[in-house]
Structure 1
Amino acid sequence: MARTVLHVDFDYFFAQCEELRTPEIKNRPVVVCVFSGRTEDSGVVSTANYVARKYGVKSGIPIRLAKSRLADAKDALFLPLDTEYYKQVSEKGMSVIRNNVDLFEHVGIDECFADVSVRTGGDFAAAESLAHRIKDEVRTHTQISCSVGVAPNKMLAKVASDFRKPNGLTAVRPEDAEKFVAALDVDKIPGIGPKTRDRLAKLGLKTAGDLAAFDLYRLVDEFGKKIATYMHNAAKGVDDEPVEGSEGEHKQIMRIVTLKQDATVASEMYGDLEEICRSVHESTGKKSLAFKSVGIILILNNLETITRSRTLKAHAGGLDVLHSTARAILDEAVTGGMKIRRLGIRVSDFQDSGGQNTLFDFMQR
């Protein structure tokens, strides 16, 4: 199963939040600033919308410089940060993403990584479809647009998310990874800033392709082993860093299988359902976990994903409980006209069972 990672980046986030709050400013240059308080113009630009960026206004430049570049734009707005408001919008969007992925890594107020390898079975077409759905759901719940990169690792996903902004989606398949990276300027690789870019340029290395072909031992002499190895691998599209979910957050056990042929009714999947339940139950048993939430995942032949779940009255650990609950959910979820390609089971909301029967197991008997 191929590893499949998403990087989701909320577009020009602070300025977009301000446009959301006051829609009539959307077509004006909007600049969100960190004011130092010393003078009216002291401080730096945090974020600018795309109207302001056409004038050369970007993050990190002094407010005074931004105002000079927007001198001919009489309707430009310079607004202070409203962090609490931005957090509220961010939390709504992140919650949508968290509910649609296997592993969720919160990077900042406006970006995150997600691993969807299990949910998509390593199928990049399914991952692209899921990324489109996440974009649509984030827009529905927050009215905020985001850009998404889909790739076999975190580094590539982050590069890809920046490829077609705003409101973009770029997928880099494993077989295309090295070619995709090779044409990029070296400073497009995460972690390579202006100083490192200039040092690489002195070695004649301007593109990632140049860097990938360069002698690793010479790089080590110049930058040290750790940095040189990272840059050399990244230039080839290689990155093994896992998506790190927060401790205690979004823990679940999931199994998804591809059906031998598309199913149109629930009964055609009963055999597969039982096998998946046995596999999930074996995993929970090994970890001495009791579960309270049981869900099913249906991936249709058009790659649409449908999820349904049920919360039990108390934590359970038995195979019978898992199977009967999953089958009941499946029977309710399958409707006429569906053509189901993949079937999955997910359990979550765990507690340590310590190998003992739970109250709900006894209730079922």
Structure 2
Amino acid sequence: MMEYILHIDGDAFFVGCELTRRPDLRGRPVVTGAERGIASAVSYEAKALGVVRTMPIFEIRKICPEVVVLSSDYELYSLMSKRMYEIVRRFACKVEEYSIDECFASISFEDDARAEDLLALARKIRDTLSEELGMTFSVGMASTKTLAKVASKAEKPNGAVLINKKNIKEHLRGLAVEKVWGIGEANRAKLERLGINTALEFQNKERAWVENNFYKPQQETWHELNGVYVLPVQTVVDVPKSIQKTKTFTPSSMERSFLWSELSKNVENACIKARRHGMEAGRILFFLKTQDFRYSSFEMRLQSKSARAQEILSAISPLFAQVYRQNVLYRATGITMSDLAPVEAGQVGLFDEAQKSRNNRLTKAVDAIDRKYGKHSVFLASSMQKENTSKSARKKEDGIPSEYLFFGETARRHLRLPHLGIVS
């Protein structure tokens, strides 16, 4: 038996998700990222007109007046991402959820499997994803993760490519070396100084040369480009050492209540992620970022470990004035949770234990509602201004058209019910 690696990559994934509920926009130049003022995803129609990711929205409107600019809906993207993983699991037992818009999968075939059969499976996965999710995906198949990544990028969008011993050099010959996963721009200058400009030139180097000039990550990439399986498909999600949530908004603001609401939403998101991993934080750092990219922050140790937003915001509240300055324009807020430990590891007093137990029951109830109706169906009232701003910016209904729901899946309904009062 021989193991093959699949790389499944959503084509302009965020835009693709938006088009599932706005099919009237298909064929038009569309970008997401209105809330940040820069493009977070770009449709292929927009790319053809010169629009690229991270381009400021005002510049995009200059070169492409007909562009449709949408605010990002990360709850929708997360839901569609989970659907993608589940569909891929119908074809493969080992699936690595690499990022919100891509995953790896491992499938075993007989040693004498024909290339036509391998490619047929890649196309089947691609077509199933497209039919059930209403957007396009590109699928690459090869003997290693690095080559599978090369394959998935080769014929975007809606591609299905197999790289094997017969065509590997063909795919690497014209590929800029910095485009290889694991190389990137950080190593491009060094490789150019060493006379390496393409992936094939790097692959053709002797092992001793690679080991003398590069560290382990680049050595692993070299092995993978030569078809040697080094990087396994990781099916176990690593527990993070820290959790950070930050969000850029546009236009910039100096309004204290708005900034507090933005920070409150980030704290809620960070706590949701911590609880998902069964972790609590002992230290936090919160910050504001000014319009000219300067940071003002405060780091503190919590009296007891927590993954509950209302407790963390109560700790931040008396210190917020030390970070916030009047008449200063801010463009982002954020929080970092560190000193993470499993929930059951903390030691608290008898009274604190009773209070913590009540808070835990309340938090579990909120999490259960969110799982049923969608993330942030119930949220802190201190996040209300942020929620209302996001709702107004989108100017469209939440939820997903019923024709795209899976069997047994409930359309997301945002109840807009705050809980626990305002923390200010």
Q: CA deviation at 1:100?
A: 1.3
Once the two structures are superposed, the pairs formed by residues 98-137 of structure 1 within 5 Å of their partners are 98-118=89-109, 123-137=114-128
- Mapped to 1, the partners of 2:202 and 2:148 lie a distance apart of 19
CA deviation vs aligned residue, 1:94-118 (integer Å, no higher than 9, x gap): 2111111131111112111111115
Distance 2:119 2:189 in 1: 36
Change (3 A) 1:134 1:237: same
In 2, the alpha carbon distance for the partners of 1:4 and 1:218 equals 28
Cross-structure match for 1:11: 11
1:80 paired with 2:71, answer: yes
Partner of 2:164: 173
**Which residue of 1 is the match for residue 42 of structure 2?**
48
**1:184 paired residue among 170, 175, 178:** 175
Q: 1:90 to 1:232 in 2, by over 3 A?
A: closer
RMSD: 2.4
Instruction: Give, in whole Å, the separation in 2 of the partners of 1:159 and 1:144.
Output: 21
Pair 1:231–1:93, CA change in 2 (3 A): closer
Summarize the Cα distance change of 1:118–1:166 in structure 2 as closer, same or farther, 3 Å threshold: same
Q: Is 1:57 paired with 2:48?
A: no
Q: Within the alignment, does 1:144 sit opposite 2:135 as a pair?
A: yes
TM-score (norm 2): 0.51
Cα displacement string for residues 3-59 of structure 1 (whole angstroms, at most 9, x for unaligned residues): 2111111111111122221111112210101634xxxxxx32110101110122122
How far, CA to CA, are the matches of 1:150 and 1:10 in structure 2?
15
Give CA-to-partner distance per residue, 1:201-246, whole Å, 9 cap, x none.
12221112222334555554544x3144234324434342111223
Whether the 8 Å CA contact 2:85–2:95 is kept in 1: the answer is no
**Relative to structure 1, is the Cα distance of residues 238 and 187 closer, same or farther in structure 2, using a 3 angstrom cutoff?**
farther
Given that 1:146 and 1:167 are in contact with CA atoms closer than 8 Å, whether structure 2 keeps it comes out as yes
- 1:119 deviates by 8.7
**What is the aligned counterpart of 1:90 among 81, 87, 91?**
81
Whether 1:66 aligns to 2:60 is yes
Aligned counterpart for 1:240 among listed residues 205, 230, 234: 230
Question: 1:122 deviation in Å?
Answer: 5.3
Tell me the equivalent position of 1:303. Answer: none
What CA distance in whole angstroms lies between the structure 1 residues aligned with 2:44 and 2:159? 14
Report the Cα offset of residue 155 of structure 1: 0.8
Distance 2:190 2:34 in 1: 31
Structure-2 separation of matches of 1:8 and 1:177 = 19
Q: CA deviation at 1:193?
A: 1.9
From 128, 140, 148, the counterpart of 1:157: 148
Pairing 1:211-360 to 2, within 5 Å after superposition: 211-214=202-205, 216-217=207-208, 219-223=210-214, 225-246=215-236
Distance 1:198 1:119, change over 3 A: same
SS at structure 2 position matched to 1:229: helix
Q: Secondary structure at the match of 1:65?
A: helix
- In structure 2, the CA distance between the partners of 1:161 and 1:183, relative to structure 1 (3 Å rule), is same
> Does the 8 Å contact 2:10/2:138 carry over to 1?
yes
Partner of residue 25, structure 1: 25
Q: Secondary structure at the match of 1:170?
A: strand
Name which of structure 1's ranges 15-24 and 226-235 shifts more when overlaid on structure 2.
226-235
**Secondary structure of the corresponding residue to residue 46 of structure 2:** helix
Judge conservation of contact 1:153–1:240 (CA < 8 Å) in 2: yes
> How many equivalent pairs are there?
237
Larger mean CA deviation between 208-217 and 189-198 belongs to: 208-217
Provide structure 1 residue ranges, at least 5 long, that are not aligned to the other structure. 37-42, 248-365
Distance 2:57 2:39 in 1: 6
- Could you state the TM-score of these two structures normalised by the residue count of structure 1? 0.59
Alpha carbons 1:156, 1:237 under 8 Å: kept: yes
User: Is the partner of 2:149 in helix, strand or coil?
Assistant: helix
Structure 2 unaligned segments of length 5 or more: list them: 238-424
Which AA in structure 2 matches 1:177?
Answer: I
Counterpart contact for 1:148–1:168, Cα < 8 Å: yes
Aligned CA distance change for structure 1 residues 153 and 213 (closer, same or farther; 3 Å): closer
Question: Structure 2 vs 1, CA of residues 215 and 154 (structure 1 numbering), >3 Å: closer, same or farther?
Answer: closer
Task: Tell whether the 8 Å contact from 1:7 to 1:157 is kept in structure 2 after alignment.
Answer: yes
CA gap 1:239/1:68 in 2 versus in 1, 3 angstroms: farther
Secondary structure at the counterpart of residue 242 of structure 1: coil
